[in-house]
Structure 1
Amino acid sequence: MIGNLRKMRTAVNEQGAVSYQLQLNDETVPLAPYIGQSVSLRFSGAIRCIGCSRPTKKSFSQGYCFSCFKKLAACDSCIMSPEKCHYHLGTCREPEWAEQYCMQSHYVYLANSSGLKVGITRGDQLPTRWLDQGATQARAMFIVPNRRLSGLVETIFKDVVADKTNWRTMLKGPSELIDLEAEQERLIGQVWQQLDGLQYEFGIQAITEVEYGQTHQFDYPVLSYPTKVVSLNAEKQPEISGTLLGIKGQYWILDTGVINLRKYTGYEVEFTA
């Protein structure tokens, strides 16, 4: 099967078991049957922009050509730093795109991936966002009306808890379980004055604590985790092959190393097993 890579599709059942599908263009391949089997990804070197579909020699921002990287709102700096959203200033690159993706409800959450962290995501991206990060536990804390406000709330929490996943630690095994409800109460107790300040500025209803919040747990399809994480680079090694020991986040865990498939979004690849 040959096509241009897209982010793997994820699903989770009621028991928390995560499943994956490899996506090449519009075709998908369920990956569960290949866990424990020999697989191969052969990269041709061709890249097609996921924004405009034109060939590009280099990928920017996980799959875009340079032209799209410079003009699309999806590639603006506020995507990585949502508190910098400038839609309200009238300077958004694509106001219509922002209305669809940024000016809608967002969650501020706690997750346990490589340890406790805070994060934000659109309301329609749960639990996908958690699965893409390889979280073994996650819990929504607040719901807010737009992306910028979610970033401002996240920024407050970043002073007292991590906001990034250590991918190497995440790939070495499931994190030790954490009482996320207790951590939520502890952290809010440390930043309540700053939260009050945002509510004073944006309105008391702008930041709403999720009622009856639930801590979700996830179980990834992994036969064994590596004791030493060796990263595989398709730019230097066009054919990535080995026994597929598991999948977590957007990473394949092979007996030869690990590869972040999302990094190669838009790359043409041949999958064999």
Structure 2
Amino acid sequence: MHVSAAGETNHVKYTLPVGERTIDMNALIGQQIDMAHTGTINCVHCGRVTKKSFNQGYCYPCLTRLAQCDSCIIKPELCHYHEGTCREPEWGERNCMDDHFVYLANTGNVKVGITRHVQDKVSSRWIDQGASQAVVMLRVPNRLTSGLVETLCKDYIADKTNWRTMLKAQPEPQDLYAKKEELLQAIGPQLDALRQEKGLQAITEIDSECVSIQYPVNQYPVKIKSINLDKTPSFSGTLLGIKGQYLLLDDDRVINMRKYAGYELEVTC
């Protein structure tokens, strides 16, 4: 789903591209929706029909060829652009060799993460992770350095979202400013060593506001039951809310729409 945040409360807006039309998903909350997978899967990059989707939407040839499908996308500390072995150097130049930001987010638990985009105040990455709060800690010059900083942080704080915890309730607000200061103090010596290696101006602390994000949810599930389109190709239900990339349906059912990128769907609402 495409996402954006608007207004002083950063209320999240969701749209779902289906064929040549785009569906306003927020407008459907409280209504019944019917979705059915036709059986066709197209690669989100090259468009070819594939029997199986890899890495949230790619065919196998693209999985093995594209830089955006390399293991260093999941583990940025393994970025190897500087070694001259990037699968697509031009893509790496555009996406890995520019400023990245290390942040803290409240997704039910406080986690550390990295993103390239905070210019619009609310990163789409925060929304996709279902964060109710986020604050930027550091600016670094490239993806590799962001991964190295994130690795330092992982000794003190999680780097993964517990999606079940994220979907069960609106989390209690956290003092992310205090968490930020605690974490920066804890990794201070290692961060200074990294600055000596990368350059004193390579890692810069950012004095940014803590952003709150509001999701269109009328009711959270109690006992989550995940819908798998490969096993259950069609489903119907009342849409009770949307958070992260999940649709929240009645009877505690949820579906991760990002997981099924490239799947051809028929939607009735």
TM-score when normalising by structure 1: 0.95
Q: Distance in 1 between matches of 2:216 and 2:55?
A: 28
Q: Distance in 2 between matches of 1:233 and 1:13?
A: 34
Match of 2:4 in 1: 10
Secondary structure of 2:145's match?
A: helix
Contact 2:3 2:127 in 1 (8 A): no
Q: Distance in 2 between matches of 1:51 and 1:193?
A: 42
Q: Distance in 2 between matches of 1:25 and 1:163?
A: 35
Match of 1:108 in 2: 102
Q: Is 2:33 the partner of 1:48? A: no
Note closer, same or farther for the CA distance 1:154–1:17 as it changes in structure 2 (3 Å cut).
same
CA displacement 1:163-217 (0-9 Å, x = unmatched): 0000001000111100000000011111100100110000010000013x10000
Secondary structure of 1:161's match?
A: coil
Contact 1:8 1:250 in 2 (8 A): no
Secondary structure of 1:171's match?
A: helix
Q: Distance in 1 between matches of 2:230 and 2:2?
A: 20
Secondary structure of 2:168's match?
A: coil
Instruction: Report the residue type matching 1:195 in the other structure.
Output: L
Q: Distance in 1 between matches of 2:35 and 2:261?
A: 13
CA displacement 1:36-87 (0-9 Å, x = unmatched): 0000111011100011110000000100000000000010000000000000
Contact 1:107 1:150 in 2 (8 A): yes
Match of 1:246 in 2: 241
Deviation at 1:14, TM superposition (A): 2.0
Deviation at 1:28, TM superposition (A): 1.6
RMSD of aligned alpha carbons: 1.2
Instruction: Report the residue type matching 1:231 in the other structure.
Output: S
CA displacement 1:127-150 (0-9 Å, x = unmatched): 211000000000010011111100
Of 28-37 and 72-81, deviating more is 28-37
CA displacement 1:245-267 (0-9 Å, x = unmatched): 00000000000400000000000
Within-5 A mapping of 1:10-159: 10-25=4-19, 27-123=21-117, 126-159=122-155
Secondary structure of 1:177's match?
A: coil
Note closer, same or farther for the CA distance 1:26–1:154 as it changes in structure 2 (3 Å cut).
farther
The correspondence for 2:211, drawn from 201, 206, 216, is: 216
Match of 1:167 in 2: 163
TM-score when normalising by structure 2: 0.96
Instruction: Report the residue type matching 1:202 in the other structure.
Output: K
Contact 1:11 1:20 in 2 (8 A): no
Q: Distance in 2 between matches of 1:173 and 1:26?
A: 34
Match of 1:232 in 2: 227
Contact 2:33 2:237 in 1 (8 A): yes
CA displacement 1:91-146 (0-9 Å, x = unmatched): 00000001111111110000000210000011358421100000000001001111
